[in-house]
Chain A
Amino acid sequence: MSDFVYFFTFQDSSIAFVVIGIILLGVGSAYVGTYSFLDKKALLGDAISHAVLPGICLGFILAGTKNPIYIVSGAFFSGALATFLSSWLRKNTRLSEDAIIASILSIFFGFGIVLLTVIQKSGNPEMAGLNQFIFGNAIAILEEDLWIYGGLAVFIILTLTAFQKEFSLLVFNAEYGSAIGYPMGLIRLVFNVLMILSVIIGIQAIGVVLMAALLITPGAAARFWTDKLSYLVILAGVFSAVSGVLGTYISFVLPQMPTGPWVVVFLSLVALISFLFAPKRGVISRYISRRSYLKRTHQDHLLKALYRAGEKDKTNLSIEEIYETYPFQKKESNQSIKYLTKKGFIIQNQSFITLTSKGKSESKRIVRLHRLWELYLNEYMNIAPDHVHDSAEKLEHILTPELEQLLESRLNYPKLDPHQETIPRDNDEL
């Protein structure tokens, strides 16, 4: 607990630096990543994040120390080379995009690991901690690192904000952008530079390999919650910053823990929560709305059964008869009876069920939709009368009053359906 208070009150200025750094880099990479996710270029981010490793090692070899300027320049150089190679190969060979991305990723990363091993064998005392560039260690961020990495993050955020309209055009309809005279090639180039930079800002804190997760996961998770680009970007930034700070906290409390993997763990948690619980798109809310739809269809069918009994001059149905109509659905039938009674559609008298006047009008509506649809299929789509029932059985639950009106007028307020059964109207006797 005292660790918690110590960390989050920022008594230690070095912790404040780390937290500011991780928030900036989280927001910056989530911002770029959201656009590349929308552009369906998620894999390119993965390739770049692996491809910067050889550059980092070369920067280290040239500088002889962990000089951030050499390391950032090296990383940028090899990231840019990888991006350029991937687009050059796509243009000039018949290789498919996934093959190109996969080979660039593994070739560059493999080469990076070779260089890393060479450095470790060289016995340079400065090499301690170079391993951190693979999985990241946020706590090791120093003030001078913050100026470089934080500065780059701010640069990314400002550039993306200034060019918001251009990048949206690039992702949504680049061809149209060219047609109105925008230099789309140049805009794509600027965007690729931002992608590379957004990987680079994370090499110290998160590590090269896991930066791909920080690019793509926040945007993908935020997409579950909103349809608006502005909200999407903000939400992705918040997800990323929160996960970043929590991951840093863990590696502060447990010093042997690397930051990157923990940030990714928290990010995955956010993504999982979004996937499950987001309204409308989340799995659970989709499950719930499907369940409630199925319940409603069962209630509709029950009302219909009572109506059809009425057509045969039977004013009620016994519960046993209802169970027989829907075998294996005893529980659902009981639920429907309970619900419809509560809503005042039916009255239960001992074991007999009767429609109320409200229930009559509702049951007529459902039967009417069913039979109107059957007639429509038969008349307009030339489907034989014995083939129309199944479709009507499904559509009677979803046809809106406007569509009902349209069907009525198209079919000229018909009296009978294709099976010569009466299409009931509200003022008909039952």
Chain B
Amino acid sequence: MINHVESPILEIHDLTVSYDQSPVLWNVDLSLPSGKLIGILGPNGAGKSTLIKAIMGLVAPSGGYVKLFDKTLEEVRSRISYVPQRESVDWNFPASVLDVVMMGTYGKLGLFKRPGKKEREIAMECLEKVGMQGFAKRQISELSGGQQQRVFIGRSLAQNADLYLMDEPFAGVDMATESAIFELLQQMTSEGKTVVVVHHDIYSAVNYFDWFIMLNLHLVASGPKEAVMTEDLLRKTYGGKLNLLTKVSELIRQKEFNPLKN
């Protein structure tokens, strides 16, 4: 059940990604409409984060390609914003909340140049949008999980992009923060932005997103909520890993080289 769309904002063509040779994503082929709130669903180890990293060029694919706004990543990088997983950084790093949010302006600022008053103002605006303006001077080590997540989203907003790719922005946050973040994402899509979110909780996902990508090492489904939220597809997504696919992965891992590499 894979719905392709006309003039997609993101087109993924036969993407295969391997870690240490063993493939973690097989032949993902999909296209996404713009202005939608899109959820990536799948069990642990299904390749959800890997898909986002491959779109951002952070992991090299062993096959296939990604096109954004019908262009290559390098041509449109400034229009795309990436929110990494909260646990991927050391929050004991000596920096203030404002310092981190200001990193969102670095892309436009470029190398060498130091952030100034303008960047500070942008960062403060974005902190306000995520409800953290009172925390600007706070050290990031003193933040709660939900606040850390807000800081990361604030940093992403400071990029003022058209397409947002967020890796588990709802992980480890309290209910109040979760609904605040969700409202913010909805507001962004109503302004015409596209937001793609890796999400782990299937129950809340049904209420949050209008388009779903379902992954389990391979693409199970991609389409509007009404079309893909079926028991059958959910069972295919969450019903354990495909035995045969895992066995083939194991076989490839034991080779001295990666046969899937171009």
Contacts and interface: CB of A to CB of B under 8 A. Distances in A.
Given A179-B82, A180-B107, A171 B56 contact: no
Interface in B109-155: 111-112, 114-115, 139, 141, 155
Contact of A173 (B57, B78, B84, B94): B84
A227 B74 CA distance: 36
Contacts of A166: 111
B90 A175 contact: no
B94 A226 contact: yes
B107 A162 contact: no
Nearest to A173: B89
Given A165-B115, A175-B84, A228 B94 contact: yes
Contacts of B56: 178-179
A176 B84 contact: yes
B103 interface: yes
Given A172-B90, A228-B94, A229-B94, A178 B57 contact: yes
A168 interface: yes
A172 B139 CA distance: 14
A182 interface: yes
Contact of B88 (A169, A175, A182): A175
B89 A180 contact: no
Contacts of B112: 162-163
A177 B77 CA distance: 12
Contacts of B227: none
B159 interface: yes
Interface string B201-215: 000000000000000
A229 B78 CA distance: 28
Contacts of A223: 94
A179 B57 CA distance: 7
A182 B106 contact: yes
B58 interface: yes
Contacts of A177: 106
Contacts of B100: 172
Interface in A134-193: 162-166, 168-169, 171-173, 175-182
B95 interface: yes
Interface string A228-265: 11001000000000000000000000000000000000
A20 interface: no
A411 interface: no
A178 B58 contact: yes
A227 B77 contact: no
User: What's the dominant secondary structure at chain A's contact region?
Assistant: helix
A176 B103 CA distance: 9
Interface in A319-366: none
A81 interface: no
Contact of A181 (B89, B107, B139): B107
Given A38-B93, A165-B114, A226-B94, A176 B82 contact: yes
Contacts of A179: 56-58, 82, 84
Nearest to B108: A180
A169 B77 contact: no
A38 B141 CA distance: 14
A227 B100 CA distance: 14
Contact of A165 (B93, B106, B141): B106
A226 B112 CA distance: 26
A227 B84 contact: no
Contacts of A180: 77, 82, 103, 106-107, 159
B95 A168 contact: yes
Contacts of B89: 172-173
Contacts of A182: 106-107, 111
Tell me which of A163, A164, A181 has the highest count of chain B C-beta atoms within 10 A of its own C-beta: A181
Contacts of A164: 114
A144 B74 CA distance: 48
A72 to B, nearest CB: 27
A229 B88 contact: no
Q: Which 3 A-B pairs have the closest CB atoms?
A: A180-B107, A179-B82, A181-B77
18 contacts: A38-B93, A38-B94, A164-B114, A165-B114, A172-B90, A172-B103, A173-B88, A176-B155, A179-B56, A179-B57, A179-B84, A180-B107, A181-B74, A181-B77, A181-B107, A182-B106, A182-B107, A232-B94
Interface of A: 38, 40, 162-166, 168-169, 171-173, 175-182, 223, 226-229, 232
